Structure 1
Amino acid sequence: MANIRENKRDGKLISYRFTVCLGRDANNRQIRRYTTWDIPEGLTPAKARKAAERAADTWERETREEYQKEKELGQAYTLPPEKRRDSFTTFVNDVWFPLQICNGNDKQTTVTFYKNMKKLIVEYFDGKVLQEISPLHIQKFLAYLSREYKTRQGKALSPKTIRHYYNVLGLIFAYAEKQGVIAANPMQKVDAPKKDKKPVDALTPEQAKQFFSLLLDSPLDFRCMLQLLVTSGIRRGECIGLKWKDIDERAGTITIERSVVYTPESGIIISTPKTADSIRTIPIMQSTLKLLQQLKQQTQAKYPDTILKEVFVFHGEKDLFLPRDPNSVTCKVKRFMRRNGLPDLSPHDLRHSCATLLLSQGADIKSVQEILGHADASTTLNFYVKADLRQMQAATEKYAAAFNL
């Protein structure tokens, strides 16, 4: 007889999960089938239980017949999607995640991101049959994320994070459809959550002047790091990943070809930059280059017997040939900003500051795109191009002057 288990959410009975054991495979593991039976409206708990038992009997009989047919025909038999009853949890954990995410093609940070995202998805849809998840179920999940769910810190999810969950579900169901596991992709009937387009956090020109004046009193290595972030627009991990060989003093350029990230599972990882377009050679200001030359001389004086070529510019405390922890850099930057009465900006916000300050000084979009390592100019336009009142006034004055208006 099929096992019947109640599925509850917030103490309320919402459905029943049926499980049947059909035997054992060659490795002596149980062969199981699952399905979820939603309770019809208007039934009392007692009547719902009786109806569930009748439905479970019917489902078990049909499932055993299908399995017997599958055994008799062997590999020649393929269960059609409308007849399949795959556990959503099992499909995500044992099929989609290992085959599509942990396939060696993605960076560890990407794998960690999807691993964390799928936890909540699996938790919400646990007990559901993959083939029975409808667009309505997914819409309810997105509404739950938006209105009810809270993080461990008691905070609501941002629209951007909810959009990430939508995208991950899209990948899961697209893969299931491609493999013939489901007949139709329910995500095609679910609208994407709206993005919350927040203004970019960045230093204003006035704040930037204050920022640069405050750097004069900072330790040389920290001053170099902050000036690099805010004048070159490189990412935190790219900055920490710089080696002395990446700096061409004669040409006044730096080459970005590695990045440093941290994951709880693997610790500090040295890998390639975010995208192929992020591997780039960009100019640096003469003032920044002079600071780096001072830091190089200081490092060489401290370690006279070391050839600095393979040494990290911003090395760890105990090893010249290992980078420092990216998270410690963020903490240090944010402390500096708060201590000096500046906006509470992160290293990535200093990258934003570089872009907005370049554009405000008349830099063209293509140059800023190449400096930042964006794949296309639309990213630069969408994030950073925002005219202020002074720019709009200057534009109208130029228009008027051109036509003597």
Structure 2
Amino acid sequence: MATIKQRGDSYKITVSCGYDLNGKQIRRHLTWTPEPGMTKRQLQKELDRQAVLFEEKCRNGQVLDGNIKFAEFAEKWFVDYAEKQLRPRTVGSYREMLPRINAALGHMRMDRLQPHHIISFYNNMAEIGVREDGRQHCRVDLKVLLRSRSLTQTKFAEQAGISIATLYSINKGNNVSNESAERIARALEMPLTDLFEPTNKDRKLAGNTVLHYHKLLSSILTAAVRWQVIPSNPCERVAPPKVERKEAVYLDEEQAADLLAALDKESMQHQVIVKLLLFTGMRRGELCGLEWKDIDFERAVIFVRRSSLYMAGRGVFEDETKNTSSERCMKVSADVVSMLRAWRAEQSKQRLRMGDQWQDSDRLFTTWNGAPIRPDGITAWFHKFVTKNGLPPIHIHSLRHTNATLLIAAGTSLTTVAARLGHANSTTTSKIYAHAIKSADQAAAEVLQDILHPVKKQA
């Protein structure tokens, strides 16, 4: 309920709006000055009305001012803007980033947030030891430890609340997430440091990661200016973190041939996935979103109309392509068409074998029962495939880079490459594939040299 205090000729109306992150009560204030000549009864009636209206606005979140803490405003930004206007994957990523920002700036009033606070936040993120996404390496022989306590791996996995696959992975010497390590330590009633050691304690956050935080922070503060909470965005007076552009990782012609040869030992679905990514340059999510109605076998054209994504708690879901230019069609070779015909026939056989267990999603690539495949599942499989076959240390997105690099090297115009990749413009393409353009330019110079100054034959 609103409280009212008289301050000279005006009245201060105060409404409580809950508590902030530190348990401190949040209060909103309104100063109301009565019109001259009002009777005491009129004044009291209008004052009560103003108090009720102000309290209602506070309850509905319609009252914002510079006194609001950053953490409170950021939450309002998520609810009123981000969750309505941005893609679910983007919102999820921003939600994961927010705790770090709130830890540094969440307690501050919006009208007191200055550039030097933001600079300090960026400088802190650039220090060693601030990574929160590190993994843990087991320092002990977990199998021996469990045996000494008369525990089977299956029983212990159930007690610790982890999968048996996680234990098998640890036994192979692989690293595990912080969460899994903490659960194991709790189940064994031992200190985490006696069992595990962090693997990223000496690594800094990547410059690109810091830039993502800058963009999120700037977006929130831009909204604060637009909503008239603060007069200007302090991020605009801070130089964004510098990011060292890394050259795209790709395969040359011989390495690509080695990769295709190694595929012969893999399942047909994995063969088609890798070849299609390599021959079309599609993004992973676009490939997972392909449906059979997107394939025009007669004209040898593939239509990219959607993207398939995965989020914890939501599962696999369909989304729009990355941007308007990402929705596109591309011509493919006769070999690709033949490969897709063969895969469609193989999938039909699988559908018949599964009977009523098959989920008819119309997707090109599915799980064993026809459900849409998880994009991160492809990434995990590809990493194992590359390691097993001694191929260069590439990732699944490297197939897209390889496609573009080979096309440019073969003399394909930048405009055509950009259109096939679904880039908004060729400028994006030229920045990412500067290495390939430079090589193609050198080759063009040598061609002109041969044409204009041919080597004279010896008599």
* Alpha-carbon RMSD: 3.3
SS in 1 for 2:309: strand
How does the TM-score come out when normalised to structure 1?
A: 0.77
- Give yes or no for contact 1:253–1:281 (8 Å, CA) kept in 2: yes
CA deviation after TM superposition for structure 1 residue 365, in Å: 0.7
Which residue is equivalent to 2:79? 98
Mapped to 2, the partners of 1:193 and 1:381 lie a distance apart of 22
Which residue is equivalent to 2:179? none
Letter in 2 for 1:91: F
Which residue is equivalent to 1:291? 339
Equivalent pairs, count: 348
| Superimposed CA distance per residue, residues 313-332 of structure 1 (whole angstroms, 9 cap, x where no aligned partner) | 111212x2x21111111111
Letter in 2 for 1:316: T
- Give yes or no for contact 1:151–1:157 (8 Å, CA) kept in 2: no
Structure 1's consecutive aligned runs of 4 or more residues displaced over 4 angstroms after TM superposition are 22-25, 29-32, 66-76, 304-310, 387-393
CA deviation after TM superposition for structure 1 residue 344, in Å: 2.5
1:345 to 363, 387, 394: 394
- Summarize the Cα distance change of 1:365–1:390 in structure 2 as closer, same or farther, 3 Å threshold: closer
Mapped to 2, the partners of 1:102 and 1:259 lie a distance apart of 19
Matches within 5 A, 1:238-253: 238-253=286-301
- Summarize the Cα distance change of 1:217–1:185 in structure 2 as closer, same or farther, 3 Å threshold: same
How does the TM-score come out when normalised to structure 2?
A: 0.69
1:151 to 109, 125, 132: 132
Which residue is equivalent to 1:225? 273
- Give yes or no for contact 1:246–1:255 (8 Å, CA) kept in 2: yes
1:371 to 399, 420, 428: 420
- Give yes or no for contact 2:269–2:365 (8 Å, CA) kept in 1: yes
| Superimposed CA distance per residue, residues 141-167 of structure 1 (whole angstroms, 9 cap, x where no aligned partner) | 111111242224134211111111111
> Which shifted more, 151-160 or 306-315?
306-315
> Which shifted more, 206-215 or 394-403?
394-403
SS in 2 for 1:303: helix
| Superimposed CA distance per residue, residues 115-155 of structure 1 (whole angstroms, 9 cap, x where no aligned partner) | 11222111211321111010111111111111242224134
- Give yes or no for contact 2:408–2:437 (8 Å, CA) kept in 1: no
- Summarize the Cα distance change of 1:392–1:280 in structure 2 as closer, same or farther, 3 Å threshold: closer
- Summarize the Cα distance change of 1:261–1:83 in structure 2 as closer, same or farther, 3 Å threshold: closer
Letter in 1 for 2:79: P
Mapped to 2, the partners of 1:23 and 1:396 lie a distance apart of 75
Mapped to 2, the partners of 1:237 and 1:137 lie a distance apart of 38
Letter in 2 for 1:398: V
Which residue is equivalent to 2:362? 311
Please tell me whether residue 205 in structure 1 is matched to residue 187 in structure 2: no
Letter in 1 for 2:290: L
Letter in 1 for 2:254: E
Q: Percent identity?
A: 26
Which residue is equivalent to 1:235? 283
- Summarize the Cα distance change of 1:83–1:382 in structure 2 as closer, same or farther, 3 Å threshold: closer
Which residue is equivalent to 1:107? 87
- Give yes or no for contact 1:101–1:114 (8 Å, CA) kept in 2: no
Matches within 5 A, 1:110-121: 110-121=90-101
- Give yes or no for contact 1:257–1:272 (8 Å, CA) kept in 2: yes
Matches within 5 A, 1:165-176: 165-176=213-224
Matches within 5 A, 1:9-28: 24=15
Structure 2: 5+ residue stretches without partners:
1-12, 34-45, 58-62, 135-199, 455-459
SS in 2 for 1:315: coil
- Give yes or no for contact 1:241–1:259 (8 Å, CA) kept in 2: yes
- Give yes or no for contact 2:113–2:234 (8 Å, CA) kept in 1: yes
CA deviation after TM superposition for structure 1 residue 396, in Å: 3.1
Structure 1: 5+ residue stretches without partners:
1-21, 37-62
- Give yes or no for contact 2:83–2:91 (8 Å, CA) kept in 1: yes
CA deviation after TM superposition for structure 1 residue 271, in Å: 1.9
CA deviation after TM superposition for structure 1 residue 82, in Å: 12
Which residue is equivalent to 2:158? none
- Give yes or no for contact 2:304–2:327 (8 Å, CA) kept in 1: yes
- Summarize the Cα distance change of 1:30–1:370 in structure 2 as closer, same or farther, 3 Å threshold: closer
Mapped to 2, the partners of 1:389 and 1:128 lie a distance apart of 49
Please tell me whether residue 191 in structure 1 is matched to residue 242 in structure 2: no
Which residue is equivalent to 2:168? none
- Give yes or no for contact 1:24–1:31 (8 Å, CA) kept in 2: no
SS in 2 for 1:313: coil
> Which shifted more, 130-139 or 240-249?
240-249
- Summarize the Cα distance change of 1:273–1:391 in structure 2 as closer, same or farther, 3 Å threshold: closer
Letter in 2 for 1:344: P
| Superimposed CA distance per residue, residues 79-123 of structure 1 (whole angstroms, 9 cap, x where no aligned partner) | xx9983111111111x211111011x3221111011112221112
Mapped to 1, the partners of 2:19 and 2:381 lie a distance apart of 54
Mapped to 2, the partners of 1:227 and 1:158 lie a distance apart of 31
1:396 to 431, 438, 445: 445
Please tell me whether residue 89 in structure 1 is matched to residue 71 in structure 2: yes
- Summarize the Cα distance change of 1:392–1:359 in structure 2 as closer, same or farther, 3 Å threshold: closer
1:325 to 374, 383, 389: 374
Letter in 2 for 1:376: N
Which residue is equivalent to 1:273? 321
Which residue is equivalent to 2:405? 356
